[in-house]
Each structure stands twice: as C-alpha cells, then as structure tokens.
Amino acid sequence: MEYDEPKFFHVMQYASVADGDVIDMVSGNPDWEPPDALREALEAYARFPPEEFQYPPSEGLLELREAIAERRGVGVDRVVVTNGTGEANYLAMARAFERDAGSEALLMDPVYPYYPGKTDLLGGTPTLVPTHRGGGLDVEAIRAAASEETALIVLNTPNNPTGAVYDIEAIREVVAIAEAVDALVVVDEVYDAFDLSGRFESALTIDSPNVIVTSGFSKSMAITGFRVGYAILPPEHVASAKTRHMLVNVASARPSQHAVNTALRETDEAYYERARELLDERIDAFGSALDAAGAEYTRPDGAFYVLARFEGVPGTMANVKRLIDEAGVAGMPGDTFGTARKDWFRFALVTPRVEEAAGRLVDYFDG
C-alpha cells in the first residue's frame, strides 16, 4: 500500500510557503491552553524515578483506565487506552472486519477522511451513506444501505466536518439496524467536550453488544500531540483489541498517560466550559462574516468546524489555493470529506485569528 499524504498536510505545506501572511484554518489543533494540572504533572514527571520511564501496562495505566471508566460509567475491564482516538478507531474497525461478518463499512457522507482510509487499510469496502442537510443521521438511508455484507457502521458525534450532534434516538435505531445484520457500530466521540447544543448523549447509554465507543483527550485537553485516547468495548471484543494494540504499539506513552490522568482528576468543569464559550464566540464572529460575504453555511452544534459555500467559487483544491494566495486564509477542500459537500470549504475555528480571517473573507468576496 502506497503512503498517500493526507490532503491536510498538502494544504498546510502549500500555505506555509505561500507569499504573505496566511491564517491557518486547516487543522484541528486547539490553540488554547491545556489544563494547568496537565502542565504541572508533566513538570513533576521529569523528576520521577527510572521505573516511571519504562513500559506501562499495554492496555494503559490502571489509574487512567479507572478514571475513564468512572467518568463514562463502565467497568474498567472494558477500557483500552490507545495512541489517540485515531488508534482506538483503528482497533474498533479492525475488530469489525475480523469477525467474518462481511467486509463493508457504512460511513456517513460528509465523512472524516481517516475512516475510508482505515477501511481500505483493513481490506474493507467503504460505502458512503448520505446524511440530512444539516449533517444529521438519515436512518432510512442507513437501513436501505445495510445488508449481510455490512460489517461496520461508523458514526462521529459531535461531527467533523458538519458540526452535527446526533440525536440519541437516531443512534439507537442505527444500532438496531446493525444488530439485525450482525455489524458493529463504532461511535467516535472525540469532540464530546464540545457539544454546544446541550443535546449530546453518549452512545454508551445504549446497551448493546454491538457498540464500541471511542474518544480521547486531544481536543478536550488541547493536547493533540500527547496521543492519548481510548476505546470502550463490549467485553467479548476487549481481548482481541488489546492484542492488536500490543502487537502494533507495545503500549502508549507513559508520561502522556500520567499527565492526562492527573488532569482528568484535578480539572474542573469550568476549564471545558471556557473552551466551549471561546468556540461559541468564534462561531458567532465567523458566521456574521460569512453572512456578510453572502456565503451559505451551517452553524455547528458541536466540534470545531464550519462548512461554507461561496457563490461561483466551489471549494476545490484549486480554489483553496486561490484563497490562500489571494485572501490569506487557508481552509480545506470539500471533496476531502466525501461527495456530499464537495463544492464547499471547511474552516477550522481553532485559531485566535478567526475574526481577522472572517474580515479577509468578507473583503475578498465583496471586493
């Protein structure tokens, strides 16, 4: 299999060598502070005895797994700590394909591009299923697409790139469809701390042996470089996920796990609330500018992203480069995320320069 550079890197590389100042709205890297307790734990770690610099248990530090289990209301035996939500998704998806229950993955369109990428990597066949206009689940479309060949359905809520927060009843129906065709449902909840609608409910509230929930701390603690995530699996899938994790990684980094564990226990809700408020303000500012620029867009209910469409300027890679060169704003082309929004742009709101970027877009499209 060839290494195909993700389009994110391609756009960021293009923006970094462009003439003039470019505001990066490409990546999902938070620009705000991690919790204080995380910095303090990391500083203290440098003076820990040598044994703390050695392999942790492969499935993750027990204290961290306990903290996750307690917060998510599940037994600790179901929690496997991974190298980010990305690895948790990989383990969960691999589990679906190795069960001899079909080779097709139903992925929602627009789609987070690593899902079709991982499906291909694992020898599965991705099928894109349309969603409703605002990005909500189209349960009937999923029902129509599901068959005995379906091994896996992947959901992501709050959603990248649409910002949709799925209705828990819709997820419940999808789980029932999956049970009927013997498929697993992987629900990626990495943006669970960024529900701006107040409607988010974890899929862990659905009692089903077919549901695997994945998440992590990259976004909630603003630490995409730490690589700490987790999968919560039904008991019968835990052992094989642990084996794959161990054979691929040995274990996840110990200092990262220690720092996250400390921060989880010592950070109060106000930290997460502040990040949500910041995001909300940015959505307001960016939305007003998009209105002024005459763009069509959906106000996100969660996560970090806004999809927008400008009359006469489709969100192709060529136009992404044009916006970088001529407006000084870098977004992502819509076809990165499947077919549904291929003439849209995606902008990530994780830069302190959101208002400035908005002003540049208004000037560009008004001029």
Binding site for ligand PLP (CB under 6 A): 28, 84-86, 112, 156, 160, 188, 190, 216, 218, 224, 229
85 vs 127, beta carbon nearer ligand PLP = 85
Q: 216 or 338: whose CB is closer to ligand PLP? A: 216
112 vs 271 by CB, closer to ligand PLP: 112
Tokens of 37: 């307790």
Minimum CB distance to ligand PLP, residue 112 (Å) = 4
- Tell me which residue has its CB nearest to ligand PLP: 84
Q: How far is the CB of 81 from ligand PLP (least distance, A)?
A: 11
Residue whose entry in the numeric block shows the structure tokens 């992590």: 216
| Minimum CB–partner distance for residue 217 and ligand PLP (Å) | 7
Q: Which is nearer to ligand PLP, 28 or 136 (CB)?
A: 28
Q: In angstroms, what is the minimal distance from the CB of 118 to ligand PLP?
A: 10
Least Cβ distance, residue 55 to ligand PLP (angstroms): 21
